[in-house]
């Protein structure tokens, strides 16, 4: 099944108001690549101004709480992201799992809340270096998907991102064969959970994607785009990845 490529940026805890100017060139690149979906998960402080500055760009959050509102100091809910003009959220990023002890059950609850609040979801999974060295990468990814995928998930609102923890921000990437193997496992796991609907779910690769390696990664079977951290912070680095996705078709 043909799935549109998605190139999503994750600014993490970076980006002040001056950084909003980067979105102008990113939006221009998105317009020049009509076959590619382009999204940017900005810090919560920038969602409103980013969405107002570039209404055509898909702006989102990096996390949401599992509740819609209430006494959760410092957290942000899906309805609040939606109200600020955000259209999607990342959930289950390995930095959230590691820094905040989020379990797959937590991630599942957040994905459900995001969908309930009208947001699309990019749900991240991925093994640590130790798990890969122990030969457990496929089992870990399959288990994370099984434990964190909401019932009734479909490609209309849910995207999976395979992000090996050891590849995030390190400049190291798995081989194309290793990426292909995990994406095939992820697809098979999805199929076991949601049947034919699995064919509509995009599976992104994330971890040290750059303009230099994007074309090779997009050529891997079952790679439907990329979740990009460091190289999404400037248009100069992010736009070549969007262009590589457009060439990959």
Active site residues: 93, 163
Cα dihedral angle (153, 78, 113, 154), rounded to 10 degrees?
A: 0
Instruction: Choose between 86 and 206: whose C-beta lies nearer to ligand PEP.
Output: 206
| Euclidean distance between CA atoms 170 and 189, whole angstroms | 28
**Which positions ≥6 away from 41 have C-beta within 8 Å?**
8, 9, 10, 11, 59, 60, 61, 62, 88, 89, 90, 122
Instruction: Choose between 112 and 233: whose C-beta lies nearer to ligand PEP.
Output: 233
CB of 166 to ligand PEP, least distance (A): 10
Distances (CA, A) of 148 to 108, 113, 206: 4, 13, 18
CB of 40 to ligand PEP, least distance (A): 12
Strands 36-41 and 120-125: unpaired
CB of 90 to ligand PEP, least distance (A): 8
> CB of 139 within 8 A of CB of 90?
no
CB of 128 to ligand PEP, least distance (A): 14
Instruction: Choose between 76 and 228: whose C-beta lies nearer to ligand PEP.
Output: 228
Instruction: Choose between 5 and 194: whose C-beta lies nearer to ligand PEP.
Output: 5
Instruction: Choose between 194 and 209: whose C-beta lies nearer to ligand PEP.
Output: 209
> CB of 226 within 8 A of CB of 208?
no
CB of 207 to ligand PEP, least distance (A): 5
**CA-based nearest residue to 218, from 191, 246, 239:** 246
Instruction: State how far Cα 47 lies from the chain centre.
Output: 16
Binding interface with ligand PEP (CB under 6 A): 10, 163, 168-169, 206-209, 227-231
Cα dihedral angle (59, 224, 179, 101), rounded to 10 degrees?
A: 30
**CA-based nearest residue to 58, from 76, 80, 35, 37:** 37
Instruction: Choose between 106 and 163: whose C-beta lies nearer to ligand PEP.
Output: 163
Position of minimal CB gap to ligand PEP: 229
CB of 62 to ligand PEP, least distance (A): 9
């Amino acid at each position: 099944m043909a799935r549109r490529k998605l190139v999503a940026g994750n600014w993490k805890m970076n980006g002040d108001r001056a950084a909003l100017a980067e979105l102008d060139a990113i939006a221009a690149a998105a317009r020049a690549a009509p076959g590619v979906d382009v999204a940017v998960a900005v810090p919560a402080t920038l969602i409103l101004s980013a969405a107002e500055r570039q209404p055509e760009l898909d702006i989102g959050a990096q996390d949401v709480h599992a509740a819609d509102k209430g006494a959760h100091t410092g957290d942000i809910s899906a309805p609040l992201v939606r109200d600020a003009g955000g259209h999607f959220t990342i959930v289950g990023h390995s930095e959230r799992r590691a820094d905040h002890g989020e379990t797959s059950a937590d991630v599942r609850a957040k994905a459900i809340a995001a969908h309930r609040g009208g947001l699309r979801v990019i749900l991240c999974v991925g093994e640590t270096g130790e798990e890969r060295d122990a030969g457990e990468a496929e089992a870990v990814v399959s288990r994370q998907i099984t434990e964190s995928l909401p019932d009734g998930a479909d490609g209309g609102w849910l995207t999976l991102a395979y992000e090996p923890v050891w590849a995030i921000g390190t400049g190291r990437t798995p081989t194309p064969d290793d990426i292909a193997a995990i994406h095939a496992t992820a697809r098979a796991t999805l199929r076991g959970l949601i049947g034919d609907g699995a064919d509509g779910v995009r599976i992104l690769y994330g971890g040290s994607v750059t303009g230099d390696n994007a074309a090779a990664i997009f050529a891997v079977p079952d790679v439907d785009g990329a979740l990009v951290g460091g190289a999404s912070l400037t248009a100069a680095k992010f736009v070549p990845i969007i262009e590589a996705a457009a060439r990959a078709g």
